[in-house]
Every structure is written in C-alpha cells, then in structure tokens.
Amino acid sequence: MGMNVGAASGGEHEEVIAAINTTPLVDVMLVLLIIFLITIPVVTHTVPVQVPKETVHPLKTTPHNVVLAVNRAGNVFWNETRVPDIDALVARLKSVAVQSPQPEVQIRGDQAAHYEYVGKVVVACQRAGIAKIAFITEPPARGG
C-alpha cells in the first residue's frame, strides 16, 4: 500500500494525500478473469454421445531405403551385395532415382575409411539424381 506524504521540509502546510491505490484491485480482477476463461470451457455441457473408438493408420507408401556400406578398403556394398565399381553403382542408383516417391540413400561409412571413398559414393548419388542422402552413425556410449 502506498501513501504519498508531503515533503519533509518542515513546513506547517503539510497535507496527507489519501488516494486509493488501484493496482492490487486490477491484479485481482485479472486473475479472476483468467480463472473464468479457463474454467468456462470445462463447465459447458454437450449432448452425451458414445463415439466409436478407432485408431487411424495413415496410408503412406514409403519406399525401401537404399543402404550403402563403405568398408575401410573402399569397397561399396548395396545392402549386402558388393558393387564392382562406381559406374555400376551410378547405374543402379539411376534405376532407383526414377521411383516415385524416391527412396532415401543411407550411407554407412567405416570409421577408418578414407573420406575419398565415402565422397565417391556421395558423388555417385548426385550423378544419379538422388535427392536425399543420409549418413548412419552410432551414438556414443552412455556415461563414458
């Protein structure tokens, strides 16, 4: 609560200003307004109807992802099958790139493999027209 008192000049005509502070009143009114706004939708009643319980499974066709693995020697594997060279990889990727929707190519590169080997696979994907490329990694061990 605040009350303004005249200056401490020691004059004889000091006057006490007794004005009501409306700030706490406004705060209380805003809190009550918020409480009413929150509780009114809960209080409204609707017609009691038993609606059917059903889960919705969206019909979404997802293509199979292409998993390419690059070992430390630089050999490229399509799932489990070894691809002889980069030109053969580009040819296989071109056949996949025309599918609708286009599958994502996921690259699993050996940690000890040179960047050059993984880079060649990325360039092959680019030449084939693949739009989505992802790299598969392992999260670090917990607590270590």
Which H/E stretch holds residue 87? helix 86-97
Is residue 91 pLDDT above 60, yes or no? yes
Cβ–Cβ under 8 Å, residues 21 and 2: yes
- Give, rounded to a whole angstrom, the gap between the first and last alpha carbons of the chain: 57
Is residue 142 pLDDT above 70, yes or no? yes
Average pLDDT over residues 115-139: 91
Is residue 125 pLDDT above 90, yes or no? yes
- Domains of the chain (ranges plus CATH)? 4-43 (no CATH), 66-135 (3.30.420.270)
- Report the alpha-carbon distance of residue 50 to residue 54 in Å, rounded: 12
- The sign of the torsion formed by the CA atoms of 77, 81, 86, 92 equals negative
pLDDT digits (tens, 9 = 90+) for 54-84: 666 665 556 688 999 999 999 999 988 999 9
